[in-house]
Amino acid sequence: APVSSTSSERYYPNTYPSTEMAAFDESPMVRPTVQELAAAGVEEPPRQYVLPEQDRHGDLLAADEFPEPIPLVDLSRLTDADEAERLRAALQTWGFFLATNHGIEESLMDAMMSVSREFFRQPAEEKQKCSNLADGNGKDYQVEGYGSDKVVSEDQVLNWSDRLQLEVDPEDERNLAKWRRHPESFRDVHKSTHQEPRK
């Protein structure tokens, strides 16, 4: 069902000074990203971005303090029962894993990282051209596109990340309006990254 919104305004750094925090609290469904807030000079995150203390998972660990290494999964061996079990265990205990033998050349991974950084370094107004809020005010949220999590209530703790999610398979369902032409190589690199492991 569509998400209702109390405001049709989208906040950007140039229209969202830190002195107008009251306006933030009045518009629960459309929120600026943490990156937009930082660019606007907001030094303390608004309450909606702070997880209540009772919901926190304790002290954070540095990478070298993990009690065990992040699981490695060899994607070329997934037909092997032991490797399939390793994948299942990694997803159940960690929720993620490091993939090896995935078939993507290092140079292509470097290119993917490069165009992705270029995309996220663009001004908010440019990234919003492929927003996951199709109508710009939170009433038509889509998983695909640039943005963050769907906001469904005033009490929701908001995600600090911003992301670009693209549909790549099946090819005829790709929404190329979300596939940016800037950086110039963005589309080609993303297509190649998806096609490379299938060769």
pLDDT of residue 6: 26
Cβ distance 135 to 24 under 8 Å? no
Which CATH number is 139's domain given? 2.60.120.330
Length of the chain: 199
Residue 182 CB partners (closer than 8 Å, separation 6+): 118, 119, 122, 126
Q: Is residue 7 part of a domain?
A: no
pTM of the model: 0.64
The residue that leads in pLDDT, 102 or 136, is 102
pLDDT of residue 101: 93
pLDDT of residue 24: 43
Q: Is residue 166 part of a domain?
A: yes
Q: Is residue 55 part of a domain?
A: no
Q: Is residue 8 part of a domain?
A: no
Q: What is the total count of domains within the chain? A: 1
Calculate the CA dihedral of residues 14, 136, 182, 42 and round it to 10 degrees: 30
Q: Is residue 53 part of a domain?
A: no
Per-residue pLDDT reduced to its tens digit, 51-97: 888 887 766 666 677 767 889 999 999 999 999 999 999 999 889 99
Name which of 156, 161, 160, 152 is nearest 52 in CA terms: 156
Distance CA 70, CA 197 (A): 23
pLDDT at 109 over 60: yes
pLDDT at 10 over 50: no
Q: Is residue 5 part of a domain?
A: no
Q: Is residue 86 part of a domain?
A: yes
Q: Is residue 161 part of a domain?
A: yes
Residue 164: which domain range?
A: 13-48+64-198
